[in-house]
Every structure is written in C-alpha cells, then in structure tokens.
Copies of this chain bind each other. A is one copy, B any other.
Amino acid sequence: MADRLVVVGGNGAGMSAASQARRLDPGLEIVVLEAGRQTSYSNCGFPFVIGGQVDSLDQLVVRTPAEARHEFNIDARIGHRVEELDLAQGDLEVRDLSRRRSYRLRFDQLVLATGAKPRRPDIPGIDLPHVHGIQTFAQAEGLVSALDQTRLSGGRAGAAAVVVGAGYIGLEMAEALCRLGLRVTVVTSTPEVMPSLDSDVGALVTKAMRSRGIQVQCGTEVEGIEEKAVVTAQGLVPADLVVLGAGVSPDVDLADGAGIEIGPSGAIGVNARMHSAVDAVWAAGDCAESFHLVSRRAVHVALGTVANKQGKVAGTNLGGGYATFPGVLGTAVTGICEVEVARTGLNSTEAAEAGLAWAEAAVKSTLRPGYMPDPGSITIKMLAERRTGRLLGCQIVGSKGAAKRIDTVAVALSTGMSGEELAGVDMSYSPHVSPLWDPVLIAARRVAEAAGRASN
C-alpha cells in the first residue's frame, strides 16, 4: 500500500507541498484537508477585489480543489476541518463540515500548513458580527458580503469603516474601502502606520494616506468595539464596519495541542528541510518558523512568497528529493495611495533587538533625471553594521516604480555585502528608468560612509 501524505491546510504552503511531492513521487497517496471552500488562493489579492479592480474572489484562485484532483491526483477535501492530531496513533480527527460527521484519518507523513489568524485585541465587542478578519477566503467572502449589504441599503457612500491596526493588508484594505466611497479611519497604537518600517519612513506613508482622505489616528489604543463605533482613549470613531489590520499570528493550535515544539517566534519550529521536531511531521507557511539571514534568529514571517517556497521545499523532501529553505530577509512590498513601499532586512528596532550597532543613511532622490517629464520620487533608507559595514536592511517609499529596487538590496543582504560593495555594483541607467546614479547606489555609498565614521 502506498504511503499516505496528509496536508492540513489547502492554501499556498499546503498545496505547494502537495503538488511538489506529487511531481517527484507519482505513487504517493496525497490528501489535503481544508476547512474552507477554496484552495490555492491569493490572499494578497483580497484588497483588489474589495476595491473593485478585480471582479471576484474566485479570480484569485490559482487551482481549485477539482483541478488539484485532476492535474495532480490530490485528494483535496474542502470543508474538512482537522480537530485533533494524535501523534501516538499517527492519525487525525477530521470534521466533515457539510455532512456534519467526523472521522479519523491515518497518515504516514503529515504537513501542517494551518496558516495564520488575524491578531484580535482582547477587548469588548471584538466578536461582533461587523468585525472582519481578512486572512482567509471565508473571511474575505464575509467582508464582500457585508459591503454588498451596505450597498444594497444605499448607505455605502455614507458608511464608515475603521481599520484597527496598520499593517500591510490593513492599509491596503483601508485604501480599498476608501476607493469604494466609505469614510475610512485607521486606528493604530503605533507612532506611525506600518510598524515594520522605522517611524521616520512610516511617517511618509501616514502622510500619503491622509492626503488621500483617509483618517489616520496613530498612537491610539482601541479599547472596545460597539455596534456603530470603535471606542478609543481619544473618543468614539464611527464604524459601520471594522477590519482587523494589525497583522497575524501563526495558527499553531493543532500542533500545540499535540505537543509539537513551538519555536521562540511562536510558530512551529522546523529545520531547514521544514521538518518539525517530531518524526513524520513537517510544517510550512504562515504557521511555521523561519530563519532570518541578517539577525540569525528564528522569526515568524507570514508572507505568500515564504509560504509557497517553504511548501515546495517540504514537498521536495516528502517526494524523495532534497531541498532546504534558505531563510528569510523579511522582504515585503506594497502599494498604498499612489505610493509604493518596500522593506528588507532589519529595521532599527529589529537591529537593536538583535544586539547589533548600526549606522544609517536616508536619501531622497528622483526616480528619473530631473529633466524628464515625470521624474518621480523615492526615499530610501539603509542600515549598515558598525565596524564591518555589512548591510543590515533597507526601507523604500516612493512613487510608481520605486519599490522593486528593494530586491537589489535583498540580493546584497543574502550574500552579506557591505554598503561599499553595493555602491560599486554596475547597475543599469537610462533616463527612462533611473537617474545616472541610481538611488540604491547613492544610499549604499552614504551608509558605507556613515558606518565608516561610526566604525569604532
């Protein structure tokens, strides 16, 4: 009898693991258990559906359960929720939600790809029906449906939405809701929006959102949620709709319940092959831990790129191949209210937490020569370690075309380059796409000089 691989969770990491295992091992029995009604969808696309640039959530589905079955011979069971993992027995307790029955499913190998869940502040009213997470397909459907009701009641234009927290997806949702005509307020306890940026860089994003007509209340704690308002220390903020936008936590309930080791980041601990501390159990995606290549610490990074790569690594190993996940830099990018935002490596807070001493430099430049019709703008901040000059991180805010420059720094960070070395790279120039000295080169030069001055 063929070995049975069971994957818990049918989004990016889980389906990548399943399909990659299938590519390498045609004989494996593969079962994917997914509580929701869809597999392999782009969570990152939700704001575009909400904002109306993409017609429907179904367009975000890369591969339906039926396609997984036909193309990859994967037994993808949607509406099947895993309720318990029994390591001693090597099986799972599964609830078939549509047939309202439970069954046990034995596995030879298990991949936990249970994803993440929105952070829910522990405040009164957090479970009210107008409070929406935006992490899963079902949550996105809930929000779409709520917005449709708002529209049907004729109230969308006047309706008020509050985004609690100011992470990437929260801000993208704020813009999407603003685009629909809602009055939108972002309430965050952080000094500026987007706490993964240093606050001097985050301030540029705060400013861009305000200039788009979005209310932003920074440094504001949310104390409770009522049916028509969010309660803050500074008073009530009207809210027909509340979106949880303060990021996510790894969903490790199943693993934790089974006694599988949870790492220091709060996510499931794994080695480079995505194997957990327990025999036959693997983990990948938003529920699994990553190794940060700059801080050299275990971190939790819930991003689609990481999830898909980790899933593929797990699948390769489960299919009989050999692959390791090289680690993360925390690279992320988004576009909000006409500005592009990106970051990689460590910000100041993370560098301090890692015990590193650094120098920094921020450069404001155009994206094309000043004589061009639309020169654009970019602010780029870099951190480099004192003494060694090794680059530690980079943050970018700018107009269209600015953000993808972050990848050049990601490559540099991957190889431990210094600012001096990056400043010497033969990068491309044409007035179409950059000034003669690309802003990345200028920032690298400046941070190298700053690290040199602070080298003692």
Interface residues of chain A, those whose CB is within 8 Å of chain B, are 12, 42, 44-45, 48, 53-54, 59-60, 168, 293, 303-306, 308, 326-335, 340, 342, 344, 369, 371-373, 401, 403-408, 410-412, 414-415, 417, 421-422, 424-434, 436-438, 440
Contact = CB atoms under 8 A, between A and B. Distances in A.
Given A403-B433, A404-B434, A411-B417, A331 B426 contact: yes
5 nearest CB pairs, A to B: A335-B432, A333-B428, A326-B424, A411-B411, A329-B426
Contacts of A334: 430, 432
B408 A407 contact: yes
A139 to B, nearest CB: 18
B410 A425 contact: yes
Contact of A433 (B305, B340, B425, B430): B340
B408 A53 contact: no
B426 A44 contact: no
A356 B363 CA distance: 40
A415 B340 CA distance: 28
B426 A328 contact: yes
A404 B434 CA distance: 9
Number of identical monomers bound together in the oligomeric complex: 2
23 contacts: A44-B430, A45-B431, A48-B371, A53-B373, A168-B430, A293-B426, A304-B436, A305-B436, A326-B424, A331-B428, A342-B428, A344-B426, A344-B428, A403-B432, A404-B404, A404-B433, A406-B428, A407-B408, A407-B427, A410-B428, A411-B415, A411-B422, A411-B425
Nearest to A308: B436
A60 B428 contact: no
A43 to B, nearest CB: 10
Contacts of A430: 44, 168, 332-335
A1 to B, nearest CB: 33
B431 A306 contact: no
A438 B404 CA distance: 11
A335 B433 contact: yes
A431 B438 CA distance: 24
B428 A407 contact: yes
Given A42-B436, A411-B411, A412-B411, A404 B425 contact: no
A438 B305 CA distance: 9
Nearest to A445: B312
Contacts of A371: 42, 45, 48, 54, 59-60
A214 to B, nearest CB: 17
B53 A305 contact: no
A48 B431 CA distance: 9
Q: Which of A168, A305, A329 counts the most chain B CB atoms within 10 A?
A: A305
Contacts of A427: 305, 331, 407, 410
A305 B434 CA distance: 11
A48 B344 CA distance: 34
A406 B427 CA distance: 8
A97 B327 CA distance: 63
Given A53-B373, A371-B54, A407-B408, A426 B330 contact: yes
Contacts of A327: 426
Given A404-B404, A405-B407, 6 more contacts: A54-B371, A305-B437, A327-B426, A331-B428, A407-B427, A415-B415
A440 B60 contact: no
Nearest to A341: B430
A414 B421 contact: yes
Contacts of A48: 371-372, 431
Given A411-B425, A426-B414, A438-B407, A431 B42 contact: yes
A428 B414 CA distance: 13
Nearest to A432: B335
Nearest to A334: B430
